[in-house]
Amino acid sequence: MAEAQFFVEGDLVAVLTTEPLGRALDYKAPEGGCFAGAFVEVPLGPRRVLGVVWGPGEGGFDPAKIRSVTRVLDAAPMGEAMRAFLMRAADYTLTPMPAMLRLATRAPGLADPPGPRKVYRRGWQEPDRMTAARARVLEVLEAYGGAAFTLSELAGLAGVTTGVVKGLVKQGAVAEEEAPRDVPYPRLDPDLSGKALTEDQAAAAERLRAGITAGRYGTTLLKGVTGSGKTEVYLEAVAECLRKGRQALVLLPEIALTSEFLARVEERFGARPGEWHSGVTQTERRRLWRMAGEGGVGLVVGARSALFLPFRDLGLIVVDEEHDTSYKQEDGVLYNARDMAVLRAAMTDAQVVLASATPCLETWVNAESGKYARIDLTARFGAAELPPMRAIDMREERLEASRWISPTLVQMVAGRIAGGEQALLFLNRRGYAPVTICRACGHQIGCHQCDARMVEHRFLKRLVCHQCGDSAPMPTACPSCKAEGRLAPVGPGVERLAEEVAERFPDARVAVLSSDLFGSARALKEKIEEIARGGADIIIGTQLVAKGHNFPLLTLVGVIDADLGLQGSDLRAAERTFQLMRQVSGRAGRAEKKGEAYLQTCQPDHPVIRAILSGAEEAFWRAEAAERQAAGMPPYGRLAGIILSSPDVQQVFDFGAELARRAWPLARIGAQVFGPAPAPVARVRGRHRVRLLVKGPKGASLQAAVAEWLGQLRVPNNLRLSVDIDPQSFY
Ligand code: ADP
Ligand code: ZN
C-alpha cells in the first residue's frame, strides 16, 4: 500500500464531514499533525462534527479565520482506496459525498475513546420483585444469549430507563463489568481441512484460488443449481485470501444470514467471522467497524451495507445469491451492492465472486461477453437432484370457490407428509387477502394516502397498506355505503392459504413464513432453523423462502400461482418470475430424498413457464437478452429514473414538465427522456409521485449528463427529487 500523506500542525487540510454541505471544508491540521484519511472531529459553527481528512486544503480563504481540527480520533485512517471508492460510488449513483460518508460511518460511538468501558450481562441472581420493565430487560439479555451491552443500548432495546437496569445490577440479576473495547476477532484458520471436494468443485475452487493468487481485480460468475456446492467452493477462495493475509467479505441477502451459515464458516475455519446485519448489537457493530479498519478481522459476513466498512486490505468479495433484489437499496442512497462490489474490488485489486443458480441478466451478459469469467457447477452434490418440474393446468382443475390448492396438488402434499417429508406451498403475497370488497356497493377499500388497495391481515386484525405501511382496524361496515357485514375478502394471501391448509390437512403441523408475521429478523431466523430441523410438515411461504435456506426434509414444492409475476408491465417481470420459480423449486430434495415441484398455472404455454419447466436456461437468457437488445434496454442501454414527489400535485407535474423541456444535456449524449408520468404508485403517504425515465445508449456518460440536466433547476422546498441510476423497480 502507498504511504499515506502526512500533514504537520498548521497545514491546511480539506475535511469531508457527514453534514449536508456542498464540499469539504478547510481546517488547520492539529497539534501532532494528522494523516490523510484520519477520522477527526472539527468545529462547525457552534457544534463539533465527525469528518475525514480528505486531502490538502484548497486555500483561498483568510488564513486567520480558518479553525483547527479539534482532535484526531483513535481509529485507523481511511485508506486511499476507500476514499477513492466512495468518490467513484458517489459519481456513479449521483449521491452527494456527505451522504456517501454517512454510509461508511454507520457505527455508533466512533468518537468515543477506545479504553475499557462498562458492559452489562445476565447476572446470577433473580430480582426480588418482577416488574414488566425488569422482565423486558431480562428478556433482551436472554434473547441475545450471553451478549454484553452498554447501559444505554440495553435500556434502549428493552424500552426502559437506565434506572431499571441499574436497579437490576444492585440485585445481582444483571452483572456490570469493565471490558476492553473492540478486541480483534479470533483468527480464522484457512488450513483446517475442508470437505473433500468433488472433481467439478475442486476445479472451480482452483480457478478462484488462481485469481486470488494473481492479486489483481477480476470478477467471476459462479453459477450452479442450489445445492451444487457453490458455498463450499467460494469458502476455498476465502481460505486462499486469508492465507495471503488479506481480508474477505461475503455478502448475503439479510434473511440468508442464519446461524446455519455461520456455523458452516466456523466448521471450515475453526472460528466465527465478523457479522454485520440488522440483528447485531451496537457494541458489535462498533467493534467490527474498527477491526475492519485495523485489520483485526479476517472475514466479514454481512448484508449489503457491509460493503461500506473501511476494510484495510480487502482481497475478495463474494456476493451470494447475486440476483437477489435486496442488494438494491431502494431508499436513501440508491445503490446496488452487487455493482458497487465490482467497483470497490477494481480499486483494491480484489476478486469478486458472484454466486447464483439464476444470475441476473446483466451478469449473464457480462459473462457471455467475457467481461466476467464464468464457472458452472452442473451437478447437485451427492444424491440430491434438481427436482423435476411440472405444470398443473388450472383451467382443467375443479376448484370450489375460495379454494386455491388444486386437487392434484392436495394429493401430492398428502402423499409426502404421510411419509414424514415436508411440503412447501409458495405464494408471493403477504396477508390474508389482497382485496377487500363491499358486496353491497362494489367498493374496494383503498389506502387514504396512497394509490393502493388495503390488504387484510387477519393475524393483526387490521388492513395494511403495503406501500406506506399505514394500517387501520378491520371495519365492520363499508366505508363507502355504510352497509354492515357485507365486506368480503377477494383472492388469497398466505394467511388465507394457511386457513385452507388447516381445513384440508387438519393433522399437519403448518408453519407460515412471511416477513410480517415475525417481530424481528432474529425471530424469523429461529423459525427457519426450527423448520429445517423438522418442526413443520407443511410450510407456507412468500418469497422469503426462496433465499438460500436448507430444508433437508423438504421434497415437494407447490407454486400456488405461477402466473402472478407475469402480469406486471415491469421490464424484469419475466426474469424475476424465472428466477423465483427456479429458486423455489430448488428448495426441494436438497438432501438424499428425491424432490418434485408443481407450478399451478393458467398459461402452461407461456414462454417463461415453458422455459422454467424445460430447464432450458441458456435459451431463456438468450431470448430475454435479444429482446432487451432490440429495445435498447439494459444491459444494452442505460436507464435512470427520476422520482419527484410533493404534496402539491400541480407543482410536481409542472416541475417534471419543466425538466422535460430542458432535456438538451441529455439529447447531446443521444439520450431521451420519457415523462413526466404518474408513477405506477401515484401517491404514497399523501405525496404525489411523478416519474421521468431517461434512456441512453450504452457507453454514454449518463451520470454527467443527468447531473447537468438536473442542475439547471432549483428544487423547491417541499418537492423531493431522487435519482435512481440503473433502476431495478419502477413503482
Ligand atoms: P450451494 O451453495 O450451491 O447451494 P452448498 O455449498 O450449500 O451448495 O452445498 C449443498 C449441501 O451439500 C451442503 O450441505 C454442503 O455442505 C453439501 N456439500 C456440498 N459439497 C460437498 C462436498 N464436497 N462434501 C460434502 N458435502 C458437500
Ligand atoms: Zn398507503
pLDDT value for 385: 58
Distance between CA atoms of residues 46 and 23, nearest Å: 19
What pLDDT does 249 receive?
98
Average pLDDT over residues 649-655: 90
In this prediction, residue 505 carries a pLDDT of 95
Ligand 2 centroid – CA 464 distance (Å): 8
CA of 95 to the centre of ligand 2 (A): 27
Q: How far is the CA of 687 from the centre of ligand 2 (A)?
A: 10
pLDDT per position as a tens digit, 148-158: 888 888 898 88
For ligand 1, mutation pick of 195, 206, 232 (most atoms within 8 Å of CB): 232
Mean residue pLDDT of the chain comes to: 87
Dist CA 333 CA 220 (whole Å): 26
Can you tell me the distance from the alpha carbon of 693 to that of 386, in angstroms, rounded to the nearest whole number?
40
Ligand 1 atom with minimal separation from the 226 CA: 4
User: Is there a contact between 659 and 678 (Cβ–Cβ < 8 Å)?
Assistant: no
CA distance 47 to 623: 58
Query: What are the start-end ranges of the E strands in 382-421?
Result: 389-393
In this prediction, residues 315-332 reach a mean pLDDT of 90
Q: Per the structure block, which three cell numbers stand in for 675?
A: 415523462
Ligand 1, atom 10: closest residue by C-alpha:
227
Report the pLDDT value the prediction gives residue 358, as an integer from 0 to 100: 87
Ligand nearest to the CA of 383: 1
* Mutation probe of ligand 1 site: the residue of 226, 356, 381 with most atoms within 8 A of C-beta: 381
Report the candidate in 524, 502, 496, 513 with the shortest Cα–Cα distance to residue 431: 496
Q: Pick the closest to residue 444 from 473, 487, 493 (CA basis).
A: 487
* Secondary structure tally for the chain: helices H, strands E: 20, 31
pTM exceeding the 0.75 threshold for the entire prediction = yes
Q: For 192-222, how does the pLDDT look when each residue is reduced to its tens digit (9 = 90+)?
A: 988 899 999 999 999 999 999 999 999 999 9
**DSSP strands (E only) in 142-277:** 174-179, 218-224, 247-251, 274-276
Cα–Cα distance between 234 and 209 in angstroms, integer? 9
Ligand nearest to the CA of 200: 1
What confidence tier does 549 reach under pLDDT thresholds 50, 70, 90? Answer: low
Residue 123 CB partners (closer than 8 Å, separation 6+): 168, 169, 171, 172, 173, 174, 175
Q: How confident is the model at residue 498 (pLDDT cuts 50, 70, 90)?
A: very high
Mean pLDDT value of segment 475-496: 90
pLDDT at 563: 82
pLDDT per residue as tens digits for the range 620-643: 888 888 888 888 888 999 999 999
Res. 567: pLDDT tops 70: no
pLDDT band at 502 (very low <50, low <70, confident <90, very high): very high
d(CA 439, ligand 1 centre) in Å: 53
Tell me: pLDDT of 570 over 70.
no
**Residue of 686, 676, 692 whose CA lies nearest to 718:** 686
More reliable by pLDDT, 306 or 227: 306
CA of 640 to the centre of ligand 2 (A): 25
Query: Residue 661: its pLDDT value, please?
Result: 93
Percentage of residues in the chain with pLDDT exceeding 90? 50
What is the pLDDT, as a whole number, of residue 681?
74
Q: What is the pLDDT of residue 519?
A: 66
Residue of the CA atom closest to atom 14 of ligand 1: 227
pLDDT in tens, 597-611: 898 999 898 887 888
Dihedral sign (CA 67, 73, 78, 83) = negative
SS3 300: strand
Atom of ligand 1 at shortest range from CA of 197: 23
Shortest-distance ligand to the CA of residue 454: 2
Question: Is pLDDT at 146 greater than 60 in this prediction?
Answer: yes
Confidence of residue 568 (pLDDT cuts 50, 70, 90): low
pLDDT at 350: 97
Q: Which residue has the higher pLDDT, 552 or 716?
A: 716
Give the number of the atom of ligand 1 that is nearest the alpha carbon of residue 548. 4
Pairing assessment for the beta strands 274-276 and 351-356 based on DSSP bridges: unpaired
Grid coordinates given for 191: 488450513
| 181 vs 97, higher pLDDT | 97
Quote the pLDDT of residue 731.
58
Q: How far is the CA of 201 from the centre of ligand 1 (A)?
A: 10
Tell me how far the alpha carbon of residue 683 lies from the centroid of ligand 2, in angstroms: 8
Interval 329-356: pLDDT, tens: 877 888 999 999 999 999 999 999 999 9
Closest CA to 83 of 54, 59, 105: 54
Considering every ligand atom shown, identify the ligand nearest to the alpha carbon of residue 689 and give its number.
2
Q: Give the percent of the chain with pLDDT over 70.
A: 93
The per-residue pLDDT for range 682-698, each reduced to its tens digit, is 778 888 888 888 999 98
- pLDDT category at 7 given cuts 50, 70, 90 is very high
Regarding predicted confidence, which is higher, 569 or 669?
669
Using pLDDT thresholds of 50, 70 and 90, give the confidence band for residue 51: very high
Higher pLDDT, 352 or 142: 352
Cα(411) to ligand 1 centroid in Å equals 31
Q: Is 720 helix (H, G, I), strand (E, B) or coil?
A: strand
Q: Pocket residues for ligand 1 (CB within 6 Å)?
A: 195-198, 201, 224, 226-232, 381
- For the segment 13-41, the average pLDDT, to the nearest whole number, is 92
Query: What pLDDT score does 28 carry?
Result: 94
Residue pLDDT, tens place only, 369-413: 999 999 999 876 655 556 788 899 999 998 888 899 999 999 999
Q: To 10 degrees, the CA torsion angle through 377, 378, 384, 388?
A: 140
> Is the backbone peptide bond immediately before 697 cis, with ω within 30 degrees of 0?
no
Overall average pLDDT of the 570-594 stretch? 70
Q: Whose CA is nearest to atom 24 of ligand 1?
A: 195
Distance 267 CA to ligand 1 centre (A): 13
The predicted model gives 257-266 an average pLDDT of: 84
Distance between CA atoms of residues 574 and 626, nearest Å: 13
For ligand 1, atom 22, name the residue with the nearest CA. 197
Mean pLDDT of 658-664: 93
Which ligand gives the minimal distance to the CA of 445?
Answer: 2
pLDDT grade for 703, boundaries at 50, 70 and 90: very high
